[in-house]
Structure 1
Amino acid sequence: PVFECNIMCKCSEDCKNRVVQRGLEFKLQVFKTTKKGWGLCTLDFIPKGRFVCEYAGEVIGFTEACRRMQSQQSSDMNYIIAVREHLNNGHVMETFVDPAHRGNIGRFLNHSCQPNLFMVPVRVHSLVPKLALFAARDIVPKEELSFDYSGRFNNLLEEKTHEGRLDRENEMRKACYCGAALCTGFLPLDKSLCDITK
């Protein structure tokens, strides 16, 4: 886990271990894309490794995340992100964030199969992490900002089976328009939040 200095520390606000809590340092702009709805780009050069923004929103539990996902129509925008941290004792700590009604500029970030940002859960004053996005490489002005919604894990179409279950899972997926050379063709789907048996 990543912890930043906080109110319990004796260091100053200039401490180098206070990054995410300082907020935005780069000029970002919301813009309309051709196929993906709204997007977010940078107006500044962002060096590799620098903090860009937080994916902030309402922190909800698993049951509420499932309820919200299952009540959505296929045409609805899905902003809920599930972050799972695997602890060394074998437990998994889950954080679900939904910025649909309460959030920040991070909600306009689109998915990419080859993103220029990566997400790190960072704790400051609480055990609930801030979902911090950092530059995976140098990013030039006017470039769209993106991250991999799947965390680069298991975002592959599954093989068809005679029972048709995997076919139904694949049908639930939305098309991906990231334009990356290695695009999988669809957005990641967190099947744990969807009741695919209905």
Structure 2
Amino acid sequence: MQLSLKVAMCHELVNSCGLDLSSGLESVPVWIEGKVGKDELPKFQYFPDNVKGPGCTVDPSEVTLPGCSCLSHSCVAGSCCCLQTYGQAYDSAGTLLDLRGSHAAYCTPVFECNALCSCGDACSNRVVQRGLRLRLEVYGTKEKGWGVRTLEPIPCGTFVCEYAGEVIGFDEAKRRQLAQGPEENNYIIAVREHAGQGPITETFVDPAIVGNVGRFLNHSCLPNLFMVPVRVHSTVPRLALFAGRDIEAQEELTFDYAGGYSNPTPLELSIQASRTDALQRKPCHCGAQNCAQFLPLDVSILNF
């Protein structure tokens, strides 16, 4: 299905329960705070997955990874080539097993079963690809603009949402950042993956024009979410956000734009992520005791 047929402007769907930001594109509605009017909503196209943007050489929707031949209800490590090759990432309930997070810019990559696998949709190695399953609400914060809070408790290790948008090339990411004014928000996440002594993989995701609920997540120096690159059908990683601790209902959901988290670190892969707000550093209003006072600004990836 073409993107133009599936994507809807965020203000199009209103029902008796409120406004669904996703216009029905998610499995559960993404609610907008009730007092927010349609004219106040940001103008962007909601889409739950990554889409190919300028400079992207691989279509994120293209199936490029091999699949397993498992015929069981759920794959098991003893017989599944996916789990044998990449390791088991989730328990039987779909909770992330490695909760060490991405402290000091390190985390372990995840490979899920994909469209070429013979296992069923209920396989425990299919989590991020199932999409949003939690009730989230976009709301207006006092000092940080838009934010996202959960309407239900979230156990530690649970997949929350993706940070999805246009996957763009380095030159396009550089052009977009340089073109922004001092009052404009920059949503670009730049992820650099180091796999041992192999090549470095860089991915740039920008949800400013086309994106999902992840574009509204605020930065915190003491976040409750951490980011993990998850590969499903394509070699292009999906930037998945997991709960780093138990999260209570009505809590704001946040992650560290610099990619850090307060957990010990593995060595298999490093992920360095930066989401900066234009080229001028802006104050951080996260309120954490360890607040760095400014939002992260990492120029080493974009190399301005």
Q: Please name the residue that 1:73 is paired with.
A: 181
Q: Please name the residue that 1:163 is paired with.
A: none
Question: Separation in 2 of the partners of 1:150 and 1:91?
Answer: 22
Three-state SS of the structure 1 residue aligned to 2:192 is strand
Runs of 5+ unmatched residues, structure 2: 1-108, 262-278
Q: Please name the residue that 1:128 is paired with.
A: 236
Q: Please name the residue that 2:207 is paired with.
A: 99
Aligned residues of 1:2 and 1:123 also touching (Cα < 8 A): yes
Q: Please name the residue that 2:282 is paired with.
A: 174
Which of 130, 134, 148 is the matching residue for 2:256? 148
Question: Is structure 2 residue 163 aligned with structure 1 residue 55?
Answer: yes
Give TM-score, length-normalised by structure 1.
0.87
Shift in Å, 1:172: 2.5
Q: Please name the residue that 1:37 is paired with.
A: 145
Aligned residues of 2:226 and 2:260 also touching (Cα < 8 A): no
Q: Please name the residue that 1:19 is paired with.
A: 127
Shift in Å, 1:94: 0.5
Question: Is structure 2 residue 218 aligned with structure 1 residue 116?
Answer: no
Shift in Å, 1:173: 1.2
Write the letter of the residue equivalent to 2:238: K
Question: Separation in 1 of the partners of 2:112 and 2:138?
Answer: 28
Three-state SS of the structure 2 residue aligned to 1:175 is coil
The count of corresponding residues between Structure 1 and Structure 2 is: 178
Aligned residues of 1:119 and 1:134 also touching (Cα < 8 A): yes
Three-state SS of the structure 1 residue aligned to 2:171 is helix
Aligned residues of 1:122 and 1:131 also touching (Cα < 8 A): yes
Question: Is structure 2 residue 194 aligned with structure 1 residue 86?
Answer: yes
Shift in Å, 1:36: 0.7
Aligned residues of 1:21 and 1:124 also touching (Cα < 8 A): yes
Deviations 1:50-97 (A, max 9, x none): 000000000001110011011111110110000111121242111000
Question: Separation in 1 of the partners of 2:171 and 2:221?
Answer: 28
Displacement over 2 Å in runs of 4+: 192-195
Aligned residues of 1:69 and 1:194 also touching (Cα < 8 A): no
Write the letter of the residue equivalent to 1:181: Q
Q: Please name the residue that 1:162 is paired with.
A: none
Write the letter of the residue equivalent to 1:109: L
Runs of 5+ unmatched residues, structure 1: 154-170
Percentage of pairs with the same residue: 65
Question: Separation in 1 of the partners of 2:132 and 2:142?
Answer: 26
Three-state SS of the structure 2 residue aligned to 1:65 is helix
Three-state SS of the structure 2 residue aligned to 1:36 is coil
